[in-house]
Amino acid sequence: MTESKPVILTCAQPTGQLTIGNFLGAVKNWATMLDDHDCYFGIVDMHAITVKYSPAELRENTLSCAAQYIACGLDPKRSNIFVQSHVTGHTELAWLLSCITPIGELQRMTQFKEKAAKLGFNVEEDNDLKFTHEGARAGASVNSGLLMYPVLMAADILLYNADLVPVGNDQRQHLELCRDLAQRFNHTYSDTFTIPKSFISKQGARVMALQNPERKMSKSDENQSSTLYILDDPSVLKKKIMSSVTDSGSKIVASKEKPGVSNLLQIYSSMSGRSVPDIESSLKGEGYGTLKKEVADSVISVLEPVQAKYKELIDDKSYLEGVLRSGAEAAQQRAYKVLFKVYRKAGFVERPR
Ligand code: TYM
């Protein structure tokens, strides 16, 4: 009898091109896990509609995300790549979980507070949503999908009874909520869910914005020179890196006082596989210009083959659709088993056949 492999479930939102934060903190690591795990890689289109979006762009970005996954090394022959809305069970399980989730726990989530703040709202310590001064903007409101976001994410994970969830550092709090919900469900209804473990790699787990290294690199940064996309043209990558913010002084060392230099060293190290102390010693006596040039070279040399592969894939729509079809079939098979078990435990009468 063959022993079953541990199950991995993880996802990204199809909200445009992946950043090198998504790449180094997530997708690049996933690609190293294919052989030792049973992998499910989701493209979470339902999460992507919690903020303002265009349906036509979402459609395009969903296929593009699949092509980017594959170009980054997620081999569809050794993993299941699927779109969240293709699999019945994600929103159904989210509903069940929402019934054991206090609203206060959701209002405390850092990402919720950050996204609400962007809309001009402030979540106070007592967890009441309050208008801030800017929040008086006409028509501003926080939709309940944004609040429910982490419950849907917990459902994504628990629906597959995943053992391991590899993510970047920004998802740590959501993962903790997911584990709490799994435990609460098991306690209320008897053992049902595997309690998933997060996997947050030491390197690249929090890539910072190039123009403000105190903040996470993100797709939605107002200053787009802060964000490196995996499909940026090499000349654009170089320009963004060369104009990144560094720190006072001239020594190339990673330290708390030097967030800009530390971020560049982290990116360089994650891209090249060299350790930070090794890079520091090879650049002893050099200036920030040399550091930036070497960082740019390492980023470009890793991303060029990814971009070439992406170009091939994105023109082959029927191949991509085939990948998503078989990914959804495999995902659905697993998801139904868990969903029906959950329904039974929750006391729902079995569907008449
Ligand atoms: P998303 O789409 O924002 O990001 C996808 C992955 O990239 C990681 N990441 C980063 N890592 C390092 N540095 C950064 N600057 C950086 N920015 C993003 C994220 O941690 C993530 O691993 N809520 C999730 C999507 C999701 C999910 C799930 C993830 C929905 N359901 C179930 C895991 C399991 C999100 O918005 O990821």
pLDDT in tens, 205-217: 999 999 999 999 9
Q: Residue 266: CB within 6 Å of ligand 1? A: no
Token pair in block for residue 351: 């569907």
**Furthest C-alpha separation in the chain:** 76
Q: Is the CB of 168 under 6 A from ligand 1?
A: yes
CA–CA gap between residue 192 and residue 55 (Å, rounded)? 36
202 belongs to the catalytic site: no
> Which residue would you say has higher pLDDT here, 136 or 160?
160
Residue 170 Cα: closest atom of ligand 1: 20
Helix (H, G, I), strand (E, B) or coil at 45: helix
Q: Report whether 195 contacts 183 (CB < 8 A).
A: yes
150 lines ligand 1 (CB under 6 A): no
Per-residue pLDDT at 123: 75
Residue 78's nearest CA partner among 44, 116, 36 is 36
- Locate 126 and state its tokens: 């007592």
Q: Can you give the pLDDT at residue 351?
A: 85
Show the CA angle centred on residue 154, arms to residues 151 and 159, nearest 5°.
Answer: 125
Query: Which SS3 state, helix, strand or coil, does residue 177 take?
Result: helix
Catalytic residue among 52, 118, 130, 219: 219
- pLDDT tens digits for 47-76? 999 999 999 999 999 999 999 999 999 999
CA dihedral sign of residues 332, 335, 341, 344 = negative
**CA nearest ligand 1 atom 14, residue:** 21
Predicted confidence at residue 125, as pLDDT, reads: 61
Q: What span, in angstroms and rounded, lies between the C-alpha atoms of 212 and 259?
A: 9
Express each pLDDT in 278-295 by its tens digit: 999 999 999 999 999 999
Section 310-320 average pLDDT: 97
* Partners of 10 in the β-ladder: 41
Judge whether residue 126 has pLDDT over 80.
no
Distances in Å between the alpha carbon of 349 and those of 96, 99, 176, 345, 352?
Answer: 15, 18, 31, 10, 9
Instruction: State yes or no: is 219 an active-site residue.
Output: yes
- Gap from CA of 288 to ligand 1 centroid (Å): 30
What tokens does 7 get?
Answer: 């199950």
Count other C-beta atoms under 10 Å from residue 113's C-beta.
Answer: 17
How far away, in angstroms, is 318 Cα from ligand 1 center? Answer: 27
How confident is the model over 95-103, as a mean pLDDT?
97
- Please tell me which residue, 338 or 123, carries the higher pLDDT value: 338
Mean pLDDT of 256-275: 97
Q: How sure is the predictor about 128, in pLDDT bands with cuts at 50, 70 and 90? A: low
CA 78 to chain centre: 20
Close Cβ partners of 145 (under 8 Å, ≥ 6 residues apart): 49, 50
Is 130 part of the annotated catalytic residue set?
A: no
Please write the tens of the pLDDT for every residue from 219-231. 999 999 999 999 9
106 near 150, Cβ under 8 Å? yes
216 lines ligand 1 (CB under 6 A): yes
- Stretch 253-270: mean pLDDT: 97
Return the residue matching tokens 């081999």: 75
Percentage with pLDDT > 90 across the chain: 87
Q: Is 291 in the pocket of ligand 1 (CB under 6 A)?
A: no
In whole numbers, what is the pLDDT of the chain averaged over residues? 94
Q: What is the mean pLDDT of residues 323-341?
A: 98
Protein residue whose Cα sits closest to atom 4 of ligand 1:
12
- Ligand 1 centroid distance, CA of 172 (Å): 10
Band the pLDDT of 202: cuts 50, 70, 90: confident
Name which residue sits closest to atom 5 of ligand 1, judged by CA: 12
Between CA 34 and CA 78 the distance in angstroms is 6
As a whole number of angstroms, the distance between CA 251 and CA 280 comes to: 9
Region label for 349, one of left (φ > 0), alpha (ψ between -120 and 50) or beta (otherwise) = beta
User: Could you give the 3-state DSSP secondary structure of residue 40?
Assistant: strand
